[in-house]
Structure 1
């Protein structure tokens, strides 16, 4: 073999060796990229598993738990306040404290034929005069059975009206004039001095009222 031919063969071998080395390097690079991608996928899966495990420890249904637990930045709704009892009436000076409590009113006995005024508590104030505006607390029941049909106590405030001038039923006009302020009286009123037979949805028949006189002016 000539010296020239030998030189060409050596160059060809070097080129072949270089090509093989480049192929091996490219294949190694591809393997490294593949492994890196696989490791990244495994890391993502591990993170998701960790999240699901933590959520599972907080509750079976994370949406339900979140909905049922108020945020720490929100104040809990206050409970509905209890309804306050009606205020006690303002009593005249020196009046019996019993006037601050609603009386128990029962049915009458027998047949009621005339207006009857029965003092239950004697007041020490001035006497009620015709034409004055009086302030009262009262309970009204049917004379025959004691069933209550009206009461200022249930409304939480006394009632004020002129007396003796036809603005109320006759039994009140005649029964309360002359009663002293601070008194509690029982009025047994026959139907003809009350609402008669009860037309128009009013209480009919004989009636019984217990009335507290709180003021007159």
Structure 2
């Protein structure tokens, strides 16, 4: 009897071992619970970081789209869709610099019965001869209302063609032969010297007015 009591007091009896095992299990359980809570908190924090990164990426992408929309809008500004014009053409030596600027052509007045050639700028070069190939810039409008129907300025380069040999309308063959190179002339053509009163599809009918710059003749 006294021996058992002495063993218990020394912490070596069966009841003490069971309590220790229980205490150890409880401690292990508590430590595991703490690890789970810590891991759960770390996982939640990582999730918050991931969501924040995703939101930041979306905001950045949207801001990039806005920039693209602004750029796209700029490409459709009035200056971007303005009437096309060519770069300043090469002018003959000593020519008036005004030939580098597109002329404004207005409608005529009264009834046009014959060809009228009006010199707007007189060139200093040799006179155009029949059979030569000439280089010109021009604007063509209907004589009655001044509506433009053709212009080399819209095509990005001057027009080159033989003159006086039936390769162009009669009013040009008759009106440009004899004009000095470097000149700007206004040609008023009655219908019979233009495309007629019933022209092919796509051509204007009636009297026409052209302003022509003669840039070269060869």
Using structure 2 for the length normalisation, give the TM-score. Answer: 0.80
Which of the numbers 53, 59, 68 marks the counterpart of 1:65? 59
Query: Cα distance, 1:33 vs. partner?
Result: 1.9
**Cα RMSD (Å):** 3.2
**Partner secondary structure for residue 131 of structure 1:** coil
Residue matched to 1:207: 208
Within a 5 Å distance, the mapping from 1:76-155 to structure 2 comes to 79=71, 86-155=86-155
Cα deviation 1:166-212 (Å, max 9, x = unaligned): 11101001110111100000001111111012232211100000000
SS at match of 2:22: helix
Contact 2:85 2:153 in 1 (8 A): no
**CA offsets, 1:12-56, max 9 Å, x none?**
x96994433432232222112211221122213333454566678
Structure-1 separation of matches of 2:111 and 2:184: 23
Is structure 2 residue 26 aligned with structure 1 residue 25? no
Corresponding position of 1:173: 173
1:180-195 matches, within 5 Å, as: 180-195=180-195
Q: Contact between 1:182 and 1:212, CA under 8 Å: does it hold in 2?
A: yes
Aligned length: 204
Judge which range, 153-162 or 118-127, deviates more: 153-162
Structure 2: distance between partners of 1:35 and 1:166: 109
In 2, Cα distance between the equivalents of 1:144 and 1:69?
Answer: 54
* Aligned-pair CA distance for 1:109: 1.2
**Runs of 5+ in structure 1 lacking a partner?**
1-5, 71-75
Structure 2 residue runs of 5 or longer lacking an equivalent are none
Runs of 4+ in 1 over 6 A off after TM superposition: none
